[in-house]
Chains A and B, each alone.
Chain A
Amino acid sequence: MPARTRVTASLLSLLPLLPLLPLLPLLPLAAAGAADGIPGSSPAAFEDVQSHGGGYRVVQWEWTYVQTPYVIAVWLLVASVAKILFHLSQRFTTVVPESCLLILLGLALGGLVLLASERQPYQLEPALFFLFLLPTIVGDAGYFMPARLFFDNLGAILTYAVAGTLWNAFCTGFGLHAAKLMGLIDERVQAGMMDFLLFGALISAVDPVAVLAVFEEVHVNDTLFIIVFGESLLNDAVTVVLYKVYISFVEVGVENVQTADYFKGIASFLVVSVGGTLVGLVFAVLLSFLTRFTKRVRIIEPLFVFLMVYLAYLTAELFSLSSILSMTFCGIGANKYVEANISQKSRTTVKYTMKTLASIAETLIFIFLGISAVDKSKWAWDTGLVACTLVFIFIFRAAGVVAQTWVLNRFRLVPLEKMDQVVMSYGGLRGAVAFALVVLLDDKRVKAKDYFVATTIVVVFFTVMFQGLTIKPLVKWLKVPRSTSRKPTINEEIHERAFDHILTAVEDIAGLQGYHHWRDKWEQFDKNHLSKLLLRKSVYRKSELWEAYQKINIRDAISLIDQGGNVLTSARLSLPSMTSGASFPDAANVTNYLRENGSGVCLDLQVIHNIPGGKVEEDMETHHFLAENLYKPRRRYQSHYSRHFISAGAKERQDREVFQRNMKSRMETVKSGRPKRHKKERNAKKRRGSEDKAGRSGGQRGKDPVGVPLGSDEDEDQGERSDPEKEEDVGITFVAVKAETPKRRPHSVAADAHLPWKGVGVLWPPPCVSLEATKVIPVDLQQAWNQSISSLESVSLPRHEGGRAPRPISYTPPGGPVSPPPEEDEEEDETRPLVPSLKAALKPPPPRVYLRSLVTAPPPPGSEDPCARGPTQL
């Protein structure tokens, strides 16, 4: 069995190399080479099976069956492991961009492949590149494109993408032709003017893959990045059209080209670019509309995003429109609505999957570029051509950038500085798109194809490796402003929004129909029509500022958890209402805690803050019990396994418990040590947040306390959970919101209704800021604060096992003594607290004296319980 032994031999010869994972792809190659020995060779069996004389084979070698997916998987593995290896050395990768390393790896692998076999089986196939690798990168780039930044700079981006690319293409083409005529390029390069123009067209376009790979590591400022990157995406239309036009010209011959054909070329440019954009936008609308209705199929939400974005690409390709434009605009257009519609988890999934795919595609592209370069059949070197091309693309790029920037700066409010221009010129990287296009050329028509391929490879390698390597030091040396990853503060967010309106107003007053005017018009249209169509009812009400605020909250919340919940101890805080002379050992960094608490994202202490001040002990007991024994709650978690729904995972429960323990211990320390002022504020804020939330999502119930489900029965809760209008995905980390708020919300809403501070808003239309002490914390917050602190206190009271805790004084409903309504006895115990509250809600809120008393009469240290409750007493 010569074939078998050869297989084994080649396998064995590879075995020592196997730990070197990059070599794995060679295995199929060797196997294939071996299999060539016998045409149609049957699957080879292993030795021990053969000894039985070819009977039933226990283990079979089914290479042909698994070959394709196997090779793909191994390639992905190689690429991924390569990334791990590169990042083993932190210092190394900060100096050398990953793309360079990948190309080098590709070169090495290509060399090995070349040694193993005569031909080069793995290459960057244009079909593979354009249908699979490129869309993943462009899809990621388009979907996560910072839309505002993009449109703010759209003028500049379009100028560079269209005028700049045209200029580069023509100049490079004519320049090369001139060089040919002058004899700088060897006679062997059989190319006429059209060939050079064609080559110029494909070599002149800045490549999105290369730009992304290099600029992501450089971190230049946002404007600069978006201009270079936007250009690299939008120049696709120009490249595609020029490429096609020239190809057809080359095919028919220059002498047969008629004047009309040039106009057709221009028309085709319009069709390709506008058509591509339109296809993208249509798909964006479709996608957004689809995600409106995925509430019940959350699990496949991300798939819709991928499919529609990819279909946008394929559809554009189908009609030979600009597919990159289509995909980019589909991503940009759909992002806002999709992100609002889909759940938080889907958002994360989309993000990670896109980034993973894009990253792996990028890796593969660069490795394949390296491998493709090692192919003897491609090497048709002409020093003149290579040198001229390199010089021309660099010079013309720089000249084009300078000229266009000069024009643009006359119109731009924020001019592009000289340093920016240098970086833009230098950042004009060429990459895999050019390579794939040049490989696609027909060597029967374009005689000099081999020379062009070789030159393209050199250009790509030069720009990606040399320029990519040096751009970082250059940026440092030029002191180009870098991007800061600083989080915007709430105030900056507010002013950012305010500015849009201010500028629009000024333009309107000045009678200018400028950019802001039209942007405002668009936003009006978006709000009045598009959002209504494309957004779910539940999300469409939230404003942008609100969203931004929420995002900040969630982010801070997450960082809070990351730090083990100890942010609050990092700084000292004194608030107006604080006992004079008292300072908190573990008071808070105001920003953090306010943000964390002032929001609708209920972070913590849900055990406590959901208990309204006037509740009977049973509930507290229950909740306290729950808090302590999270793993034997009465609450049932939903089904353990479901393909279509993801229940709250064990991890989340774990997190929650950790968090609650954390909060609890903190609470203990506060309790034992100090007046609970900051605690109170937390709770007040929190409560307020939950109230906002409840006010929005369950406003109906909030207004009508009678309609509130009275019991805390589990079945009720289950019913609540499936309430279709409830978004079950508000918080990602803190399941407090996700799973529990629907349950608790009704209570808090109901109970809130009777709280005195709830009435304040009604009776005192503007939130009254008391004269001195409460400049920062408004009256109603103070009161809420007191309420919640009292509940907090009572929860942490020592309980009487088996019996009810003594009813604290503060549980007298604030509305004054309430005679128990007659029906109380017939009701379940749990409903009792609500009944007085209804009564109380009807009463006018009591005078707000106690606020003062809170401020002026600090609780004497030592006697915590009465004094902490003191504020709530009237």
Chain B
Amino acid sequence: MGIWQSLSGPPEYRQLAEKTGFTCEQIGVLHKRFKQLSHNEDTLRREHFNAIHDLGCNPIRVQIIEAFFDRRNLIPPDEGRMEEIHLEDFVVVMSHFKPPPLSMTDEQRDSVRTEKLKFLFNMHDMDNDGTITLEEYRHVVEELLSRSAHISKEAADSIADAAMLEVAAISMGHMEPDEFYEGITFEHFLKLLNSFEIEAKMNVRFLNMNASTVCY
């Protein structure tokens, strides 16, 4: 442990590394990026995100940015939204995209899945009521299609409607006549993406080394 501590430099890095599972080199890289985005301030605000050039043409930019300001994605989860985030929040949100360890037990795999899906669910569930309503889902599909401007809104909506009914079919199976489908709850969401290998997909390779930020 002594070697570990001597290597890990700034104590906040060490804490963060324990909390998020990043190595402190990776945290160093992220910190550098944080400072770059915030112009050396302590906090990031939405306009900093909006200023990222490459993000400009991303159709679901808004949702992604909101995810960073969403307290539900923090550890431990909380309610509500923030106006500005600190390095810790930034790194914690990023840690949802951390690749899983090379070998996992089934329980680990399940927990990774749940955690990643929860993030995704929160992203779609904009109003934080525990369900993705048709309205919200339509919104997602519309934004996904918005890159190709020629798809009409109706087309997007009909895709969303079809998807929604599919959810109803998968998750409810048989519905009583006077029932109607409220929206996707998280349990249904899990069921829905059961065969979707999210643990293999929702990953970004974070740089390990960056000469200037290796934290000694």
Q: Does A508 contact B (CB under 8 A)?
A: yes
Residues A546 and B145 in contact, CB atoms below 8 Å apart = yes
Residues of A within 8 A of B82 (CB): none
Residues B140 and A546 in contact, CB atoms below 8 Å apart = no
Residues of B within 8 A of A631 (CB): none
Q: Does B134 contact A (CB under 8 A)?
A: yes
Residues of B within 8 A of A773 (CB): 180
CA of A497 to CA of B64, assembled, Å? 14
Q: Does B186 contact A (CB under 8 A)?
A: no
Q: Which of A495, A543, A775 contacts B182 (CB 8 A)?
A: A775
Residues of A within 8 A of B167 (CB): 491
Q: Does B75 contact A (CB under 8 A)?
A: no
Residues of A within 8 A of B177 (CB): 574, 578-583
Tell me how many residues of B have a C-beta within 8 Å of chain A: 73
Residues of A within 8 A of B36 (CB): 511
* Chain B: minimal CB distance from A89 (Å): 34
Residues B176 and A574 in contact, CB atoms below 8 Å apart = yes
Residues A776 and B64 in contact, CB atoms below 8 Å apart = no
Residues B179 and A574 in contact, CB atoms below 8 Å apart = yes
Q: Which of A505, A583, A595 contacts B166 (CB 8 A)?
A: A595
Q: Which of A516, A692, A774, A781 contacts B155 (CB 8 A)?
A: A692
Q: Does A499 contact B (CB under 8 A)?
A: yes
**Contacts A492-B193, A505-B58, A574-B177 given: A541-B151 contact, CB under 8 Å?**
yes
Q: Does B154 contact A (CB under 8 A)?
A: yes
Q: Which of B58, B134, B201 contacts A508 (CB 8 A)?
A: B58
Q: Which of B97, B151, B162, B182 contacts A594 (CB 8 A)?
A: B162
Interface of B is mostly: helix
Q: Which residues of chain B (154-190) have a CB below 8 Å from chain A? A: 154-155, 157-159, 161-170, 174-183
Q: Does A826 contact B (CB under 8 A)?
A: no
CA of A155 to CA of B141, assembled, Å? 32
Residues of A within 8 A of B205 (CB): 411, 413, 512, 514-515
Q: Which residues of chain A (468-503) have a CB below 8 Å from chain B? A: 484, 486, 489-492, 494-499, 501-503
Residues A769 and B135 in contact, CB atoms below 8 Å apart = yes
CA of A766 to CA of B134, assembled, Å? 12
Residues A512 and B161 in contact, CB atoms below 8 Å apart = no
Residues of B within 8 A of A428 (CB): none
* Chain A: minimal CB distance from B48 (Å): 10
Binds B, one of A245-253, A445-453, A636-644, A683-691: A683-691
Residue ID in chain A nearest B166 by CB atoms: A591
Residues of B within 8 A of A600 (CB): 155
Q: Does A510 contact B (CB under 8 A)?
A: yes
Residues of A within 8 A of B201 (CB): 499, 503
Residue ID in chain A nearest B155 by CB atoms: A692
CA of A45 to CA of B151, assembled, Å? 71
Residues A501 and B59 in contact, CB atoms below 8 Å apart = yes
**Contacts A506-B204, A776-B161 given: A594-B196 contact, CB under 8 Å?**
no
Residues of B within 8 A of A491 (CB): 163, 166-167, 192-193
Residues B147 and A775 in contact, CB atoms below 8 Å apart = no
Residues B148 and A542 in contact, CB atoms below 8 Å apart = yes
CA of A542 to CA of B153, assembled, Å? 13
Residues B163 and A490 in contact, CB atoms below 8 Å apart = yes
Residues of B within 8 A of A692 (CB): 152, 154-155, 158
Residues of B within 8 A of A498 (CB): 60, 120, 140, 144
Q: Which of A506, A599, A766 contacts B97 (CB 8 A)?
A: A506
Residues of B within 8 A of A578 (CB): 177-178
Residues of A within 8 A of B170 (CB): 489, 591
Residue ID in chain B nearest A507 by CB atoms: B204
Q: Does A804 contact B (CB under 8 A)?
A: no
**Contacts A490-B159, A491-B167, A502-B64 given: A509-B55 contact, CB under 8 Å?**
yes
Q: Does B202 contact A (CB under 8 A)?
A: yes
**Contacts A486-B195, A502-B202, A573-B175 given: A595-B161 contact, CB under 8 Å?**
no
Residues B150 and A598 in contact, CB atoms below 8 Å apart = no
* Chain B: minimal CB distance from A749 (Å): 13
Q: Does B52 contact A (CB under 8 A)?
A: yes
Q: Does A696 contact B (CB under 8 A)?
A: yes
Residues A524 and B180 in contact, CB atoms below 8 Å apart = no
Residues of B within 8 A of A541 (CB): 148, 150-151
* Chain A: minimal CB distance from B147 (Å): 7
Residues A503 and B97 in contact, CB atoms below 8 Å apart = yes
Q: Which of B49, B158, B168 contacts A776 (CB 8 A)?
A: B168
Residues B102 and A512 in contact, CB atoms below 8 Å apart = no
Residues A598 and B55 in contact, CB atoms below 8 Å apart = no
CA of A486 to CA of B64, assembled, Å? 30
Residues of B within 8 A of A496 (CB): 196
* Chain B: minimal CB distance from A550 (Å): 10
Q: Does B8 contact A (CB under 8 A)?
A: no
Q: Does B108 contact A (CB under 8 A)?
A: no
Residues B196 and A494 in contact, CB atoms below 8 Å apart = no
Q: Which of B147, B169, B206 contacts A591 (CB 8 A)?
A: B169
**Contacts A413-B99, A590-B169 given: A688-B158 contact, CB under 8 Å?**
yes
Q: Does A527 contact B (CB under 8 A)?
A: yes
* Chain B: minimal CB distance from A580 (Å): 4
What sequence of 0s and 1s flags, for each residue 569-586 of chain A, a beta carbon within 8 Å of any chain B beta carbon?
A: 001111110111111000
CA of A40 to CA of B58, assembled, Å? 76
* Chain A: minimal CB distance from B79 (Å): 23
CA of A767 to CA of B155, assembled, Å? 12
Q: Which residues of chain A (771-798) have a CB below 8 Å from chain B? A: 772-778, 781
Residues A775 and B200 in contact, CB atoms below 8 Å apart = no
Residue ID in chain A nearest B53 by CB atoms: A508
Residues A543 and B60 in contact, CB atoms below 8 Å apart = no
Residue ID in chain B nearest A588 by CB atoms: B169
What sequence of 0s and 1s flags, for each residue 635-658 of chain A, a beta carbon within 8 Å of any chain B beta carbon?
A: 000000000000000000000000
Residues B203 and A580 in contact, CB atoms below 8 Å apart = no
Q: Which of B30, B33, B179 contacts A576 (CB 8 A)?
A: B179
Residues B145 and A598 in contact, CB atoms below 8 Å apart = no
* Chain A: minimal CB distance from B14 (Å): 20
**Contacts A508-B54, A516-B204, A769-B135 given: A776-B164 contact, CB under 8 Å?**
yes
Q: Does B209 contact A (CB under 8 A)?
A: no
Q: Contact residues of A with B, CB < 8 Å?
A: 409, 411, 413-415, 484, 486, 489-492, 494-499, 501-512, 514-517, 520, 524, 527, 541-546, 549, 571-576, 578-583, 589-591, 594-595, 598-600, 685, 688-689, 691-692, 695-696, 761, 766-767, 769, 772-778, 781
Residue pairs across A and B with Cβ atoms less than 8 A apart, 9 shown, are: A498-B144, A501-B58, A509-B37, A514-B205, A527-B147, A545-B145, A546-B148, A776-B180, A778-B161
| Additional A-B contacts beyond A511-B36, A692-B152 (20; CB < 8 A) | A413-B99, A415-B102, A484-B195, A489-B170, A497-B144, A502-B123, A502-B202, A541-B150, A545-B141, A545-B144, A545-B145, A546-B145, A546-B155, A590-B166, A590-B169, A691-B154, A692-B155, A775-B180, A775-B182, A777-B161
Lowest 3 CB-CB distances: which A-B pairs, in order? A576-B180, A541-B150, A543-B148
